[in-house]
Structure 1
Amino acid sequence: MSSYVKRFLIGRPLKSHEAGEQKLNKTKALAILSSDALSSVAYGPEQILLVLMTVSAAAFWYSIPIAVGVLVLLIALILSYRQIIFAYPHGGGAYVVSKENLGKYAGLVAGGSLLVDYILTVAVSVSAGTDAITSAFPSLHPYNVPIAIGFVLIITLLNLRGVTESASVLAYPVYLFVLALFILIGVGLYRIATGQVSPELHTSVGTPVAGISLFLLLRAFSSGSSALTGVEAISNAIPNFKSPAPNNAAKTLMAMGGLLALLFSGIVLLAYYYGVTPRAEVTVVSQIAEETFGRSWMYFFIQGTTALILILAANTGYSAFPLLAVNLAKDKFIPRMFTVRGDRLGYSNGIISLGVLSILLIIAFEGQTEHLIPLYAVGVFIPFTLSQTGMMLKWIRQKPEGWLLKLIINTTGAVISFIVAMMFFLTKFAQVWPVLIFLPLIILLFYRIRKHYDAVADQLRLTTCEPPLPIEGNVVILPVAGITHVVENSLNYAKSLSPHQIIAVYVPFEREEEVVFEKKWEAWQPDIRLVTLYSPYRSIIHPLSKFIDTVQRKAQESDYQVTVMIPQFIPKKGWHNILHNQSSLLIRAHLLYRRNVIVTTVPYHLKK
């Protein structure tokens, strides 16, 4: 039954050679990998205004020069990541760049930051999208968390169906959002140009404002820079592109940068000219759309597409997180299960893990986007800074043709990214302090996992592992619960192996049971030794374990191997298992961790 449900939800399995068909062209890749960056225009400008509002509405004109600063950073990052794409065409982004140029631990800081950032990408995007929906329909506000969780489950399911299939479904809403915002910006600028927007709604650029400081402007700049989250996703996901992957990825990155610059600038300008003030339950984009079109169908179209892209921006995380996890898993810093492709050739373990962790985060923060954005943004700018610094060292060491210009580009990106990251720590420490705790913990976890894998490899290597102990014979211990076909089947199998000795073990809870069973066994199998272990405390595992230890110690003296052979009947239908106490499974689970004891199960399949 479960396999049919899985086929219905995920689709038929794909063969390994069909992996090439799961690659993305530039059109689909722009929609899937740029949705995070493009969606951030729905909350990036708002973050600037929230900081300036602490002074007064008169300070809103500063959003214009701040937006220019954000665009300068965007240009530096786009050019920098374009260089990373060609320098590291196999993907990995900030993790690979930092590891190869700054060392293992810098790579782990970048990788750990990005892993957490992609989880935050999903949580922030879906929470922001839910906010857009509840802005249009306030009656849904109490249900923010359940709505957000529902959207995460849907996107997870789409990604489990495969990269191209999810891209085919999710591309349309992204391009509809871009179209809707271009219409909004175009109509808004036309209204401003034709004098339909009152100049009294905003203060003139250059108006002196009491209380403004450089520190506050830097704080607003760092908050607005949250609009640049997701810029690195394309460099992480190069393997998802059709050939030639680096060229297609670079063109997609440039297209994303152009669209992001236009949309971000347009929203900032309209917010300034309209004199929009951020409000708790109505987003800035919602206010601009309502001011431009009223509560018409166009307003709901803009709100609908904004909500969709904010939700679908989570897909950037689903595209990049599994590939980053693959790189970390190949280097043995996270479990190897992340390198395994699922039925639809996607890295399904990474997809499912991302979905589960995102839901936990949404529940923990109760879907409050403003509480997640600072943590989200600082998690981006740490790997931004490390990757740009790594590229600086790469150009200085290798000095390829045109390296000086490349060095200037990466240096600019590194300096600005570092300033933004520091501003987050200085101005929003109360919200971003968890980074200082979970990042060292993640790196410690990476280290412990790698240490485990190295230890396992060392122990399994033929040249270094201990020589196997000699085996002169085998002693079989057979736990029995009665005289049945299941026990008979196991005994016949044990006899076929010609062991040195077979010992049947029965654990009675009453003395009367012990006497009765011994008589029955003597009549049924007189040639097989029976040991009864009376258990007054009704435990099977404890007396059985003590007996096995005793036999094992004696067997070891004569170089004999102890094998515990567990009889187990298998019901015809799976649900029948819940009707039985599963003692054999408990015994096996307990004994698996015993050294020098082999545990084997002899199944007996029931027919009805």
Structure 2
Amino acid sequence: MYRILKKLLVGDPMPTSRLSHETMPKRKALAVYASDALSSVAYATEEITLVLALFGAQAMGYLTPISLAIIFLLLIVVLSYRHVIRVYTSGGGSYVVAKENLGTIYGLIAGASLLIDYLLTVSVSISSGTAAITSAFPRLLPYTVHIAIFFIFLLTVINLRGISEASTILAYPPYLFLFSMAFMILAGLWRYYTYGAPPVMPAAQLQPVYANFGLLAILRAFSGGCTALTGVEAVSNGVPTFKEPKARNAIIVLFALGGIAIFLFGGTSLLAELFGVVPVKGETLVSQIAEIAFGGRNWAYYLLQASTALILILAANTSYNGAPLLASRLAADGFLPHFLTIRGDRLVYSNGIILLGAAAAFLVLIFHGDTHLLIPLYAIGVFLSFTLSQIGMVKHWLKNRDRGWQFNLLINAIGAIITGIVTIVIATTKFTAGAWIVIILIPLLVYLFIAIKRHYADVAEDLSTACNVEIRHFRKNTVIIPVSTFTKAVINTVQYARSISQHIIAVTVNTNEHNLEKLQQKWQCFESDIPLVILDSPYRSITQPLVEYLEKLEQEAGPDEIITVLLPEFIPRKWWHFFLHNQTGLILKASLTLKKDVVIGSVPFHLSK
């Protein structure tokens, strides 16, 4: 049943020879990698106005300057990451750049920051997409968490089907969103310059909650809008997924992504100021703008809301492409579990995809799918990785003075300074709102990476062999067979035990006198030459008496003796039959595995019915 379900959801396994074909052309790559950056425009402007609205109508006038500053920052980041893609064509983005140029610790900080960013990208984008749905259909508001977790599960399954199939399925909604947003911006501008502003401009009647508007408030609004930059780094992480020439195609997609993001974010911010739109509980800013631009909740409005919900949900797909690749790089370097380097049946890093989906679902559950609660955690990781990447590239140009290195150095230096300042601004302005969690989590993750690396080094040292290694020869192998009832499975185990040792002991734990008497009678009839040791258990425990008996045997055994425990095990024909039987063997195996000089084995007996 597991195989049938897996085939139904994921598809047939692919041969390794197909790996070179599991890449994306520019058209599909733009849809996959741009979805995060493009979706940010659906809530970046709103995050700015959420802060400005607290200080009244006058503060809303700063929306345009703040938006222009963010657009300038986006241009710098795009130009900076062009160099990262060109130099580091194997992918890995900020992690590889920082690790190779600044050192391992800085690389791990960048890696931890990006992993947190990818996780939050899934949580925030899915939550934002759900918010777009509940804005259009308020009756669904109580089911926010359920809807979000469903979409996480759906995206996880789609990405498990492989890069080619996932990119084909998910390529069209981003373009629908792009054209819908462009249509809204053009329609809004036409409506404003033809008919003027709406009769009632909410911003003009906005009552200030706080009076002390100043630089700190502007910086707080700016840090909220910086979420518009998230997703830009994903292209540099996913260079290996592009068709040849990989670097050139990735750079083209990066520039296209930047241009579209600037147009959509700038247009949305401009309409928000022209129409005087302010945040309203239960309805997104884009929903309000669209209703004004399209003259009501008509087909164009619902098409935009549907495409917005789709792009916000599919923005998580950027993380599903970037996070498993980054995790595999970290795992290949020994900083994460090695199973993250394994490609699944569909030639994707399935374990990383599943872990990302599970962690994102847990985060949505904890924060109840509230975008505004998740946003403060969001941008710190990505801007910290931006900064480390740019500093790494500065060092790269100083060390490798290639053609045009002076201009490249200037761009990366400006990028490092600006993104560094933004990182500090976001960390300070959003610290009490939840950013402290990320600030603590990043060093904890780095410590975890180092601990995993140290563990793998210790394991390698313990397992390493040399030509002069001493081979241990055992003179005596005492086989212990735990039994509860006399069955064919026990006879099967005894027969195998006789083939590997002459020293066999059967052990039973007395939890029922009647059953013990029946076992003794049958044992005398069939296996009288093998002793049956009876262990008393006044509290009906099976594991503890057996463990104590083995410890006693270990103490009595010599240095050239070993103990083998063989567990009789019967295998039902149908999978659901397993749930009808006690799993005592599994419990015993788990308890005895930690014994140093004890070998544990199962002897299966397959049932015919």
Partner of 1:300: 302
Change (3 A) 1:198 1:584: closer
Distance in 1 between residues matched to 2:566 and 2:271, nearest whole Å: 76
Aligned match of 1:31 = 31
For 2:183, the aligned partner's letter is I
Residues 199 and 273, structure 1, Cα contact 8 Å, conserved in 2: no
Alignment of 1:247-266 (within 5 A): 247-266=248-267
1:522–1:74 Cα change, 3 Å: same
Aligned partner of 2:427 in structure 1 is 425
Which shows bigger deviation, 299-308 or 216-225?
A: 216-225
Contact 1:508 1:532 in 2 (8 A): yes
Counterpart amino acid of residue 10 in structure 2: I
State the distance in 1 between where 2:578 and 2:61 align. Answer: 69
- Following superposition, the deviation at residue 174 of structure 1 comes to 0.4
Aligned residue runs from structure 1 range 126-525, under 5 A: 126-197=126-197, 201=201, 212-293=213-294, 294-431=296-433, 432-463=435-466, 467-497=470-500, 499-510=501-512, 517-525=519-527
Q: CA deviation at 1:459?
A: 0.5
Paired residue type of 1:462: T
What do residues 243-293 of structure 1 show as CA deviations (whole Å, max 9, x unaligned)? Answer: 111111111101101111111111111111111112122211111111111
Write the distance in 2 (CA, Å) between the matches of 1:362 and 1:587: 38
| 1:472–1:560 CA contact under 8 A, matched in 2 | yes
Q: CA deviation at 1:195?
A: 4.9
Inter-partner Cα distance in structure 2 for 1:198 and 1:488: 88
8 Å Cα contact 2:122/2:360 also seen in 1: yes
Instruction: Compute the displacement of 1:212 (Å).
Output: 4.6
Q: Which whole-Å CA distance do the structure 1 matches of 2:46 and 2:530 have between them? A: 81
> Per-residue deviation at 1:535?
2.6
The one-letter code of the counterpart of 2:608 is: K
Q: Could you tell me how far apart the structure 2 residues matched to 1:277 and 1:520 are? A: 84
Residue in 2 aligned with 1:46? 46
- Cα distance in 1 for partners of 2:518, 2:149 equals 59
Structure-2 change in CA distance of 1:468 and 1:441 (3 Å): farther
**Contact residue 483 and residue 507 of structure 2 kept, 8 A:** yes
Separation (CA, whole Å) in 1 of partners of 2:341 and 2:191 = 53
Deviation string 1:110-167 (CA, Å, 9 cap, x unpaired) is: 1111111111101100111111111112222222111111111111111111112121
- 1:422, distance to aligned residue in structure 2 (A): 1.1
User: CA distance change for structure 1 residues 607 and 511 in 2, over 3 Å: closer, same or farther?
Assistant: closer
Q: CA deviation at 1:465?
A: 11
Change (3 A) 1:465 1:138: farther
Contact 1:510–1:534 (Cα < 8 Å) also in 2: no
Higher mean alpha-carbon deviation, 422-431 vs 598-607, is at 422-431
Equivalent-residue separation in structure 2 for 1:129 and 1:34 (angstroms): 16
| Equivalent residues of 2:198, 2:292 under 8 A apart | no
> What are the residue-to-residue correspondences of 1:506-585 with 2, within 5 Å?
506-510=508-512, 517-557=519-559, 559-585=560-586
Deviation at 1:511?
A: 5.6
Normalised to the residue count of structure 1, the TM-score between the two structures is 0.95
1:206 alignment counterpart:
none
Q: Kindly tell me: are residues 464 and 540 of structure 1, through their superposed partners in 2, closer, same or farther at Cα, counting changes over 3 Å?
A: farther
Deviates more, 1:462-471 or 1:163-172: 462-471
The structural deviation recorded for 1:494 is 1.5
CA shift in 2, pair 1:540/1:40, >3 Å: same
Identify if the C-alpha distance between structure 1 residues 93 and 533 changes in structure 2 by more than 3 Å, giving closer, same or farther: same
Which deviates more, 277-286 or 534-543?
534-543
Q: Distance in 2 between matches of 1:282 and 1:374?
A: 20
Tell me how far apart the structure 1 counterparts of residues 27 and 510 of structure 2 sit (CA, whole Å). 71
Relative to 1, partners in 2 of residues 1:523 and 1:52: Cα closer, same or farther, differing over 3 Å? closer
Shift, 1:398, TM fit: 1.9
Equivalent position of 1:57 in the other structure: 57
Q: Is the 8 A contact 2:484 2:519 kept in 1?
A: no
One-letter code of the match for 2:299? W
- Residue 369 of structure 1 deviates from its aligned partner by 0.5
Q: CA deviation at 1:395?
A: 1.1
8 Å CA contact 1:458, 1:464 repeated in 2: no
Which ranges of structure 1 fall in alignment gaps of 5 or more residues? 204-209
Cα offset for 1:191?
2.6
| C-alpha distance 62-464 of structure 1, shift in aligned 2 (>3 A) | farther
Deviation string 1:213-252 (CA, Å, 9 cap, x unpaired) is: 3333232222211111111001011111111111111111
- Once the 2 structures are TM-superposed, how far is the Cα of residue 314 of structure 1 from its aligned partner? 0.7
Query: How far is the alpha carbon of 1:527 from its aligned partner?
Result: 2.3
- Check the 8 A contact 1:459/1:465 in 2, yes or no: no
1:115 aligned partner: 115
CA distance in 2, matches of 1:374, 1:492: 65
Asked if 2 retains the 8 angstrom alpha-carbon contact of 1:49 and 1:60, the reply is: yes
AA aligned to 1:137 is F
Contact map agreement 2:219 2:429 (CA 8 A) in 1: no
Letter aligned with residue 115 of structure 1: L
Question: Which deviations, in whole Å up to 9, do the C-alpha atoms of 1:304-341 show, x marking residues without a partner?
Answer: 11111011111111110100110111111111111111
Deviation at 1:361, TM superposition (A): 0.7
Higher deviation after alignment, 517-526 or 16-25:
517-526
Q: 1:257 to 1:544 in 2, by over 3 A?
A: same
The letter of the residue matching 2:524 is E
Any conservation in 1 of the 2:485–2:515 contact (CA below 8 Å)?
Answer: no
Shift of the alpha carbon at 1:481? 2.1
Asked if structure 2 preserves the Cα contact closer than 8 Å seen for 1:57 and 1:277, the reply is: no
**CA 1:510–1:48 in structure 2 vs 1: closer, same or farther (change >3 Å)?**
closer
Which whole-Å CA distance do the structure 2 matches of 1:76 and 1:465 have between them? 59
TM-score (ref. length: structure 2): 0.95
Residue 607 of structure 1 corresponds to which residue in structure 2?
608
**1:535-572 CA-partner distances (Å, limit 9, x unpaired):** 33322222222222232333324x12211111111122
Q: CA–CA distance in 2 between the matches of 1:211 and 1:583?
A: 68
AA of the residue aligned to 2:542: I
| 1: CA distance, partners of 2:62 / 2:200 | 17
Q: Tell me how far 1:296 sits from its aligned partner.
A: 1.2
Which deviates more, 508-517 or 287-296?
508-517
Instruction: Return the letter of the residue paired with 2:371.
Output: T
Unaligned runs of 5+ in 2: 205-210
Q: Measure the CA separation in 2 of the matches of 1:535 and 1:277.
A: 72
- 1:10 and 1:590 map into 2 onto residues whose CA distance is 35
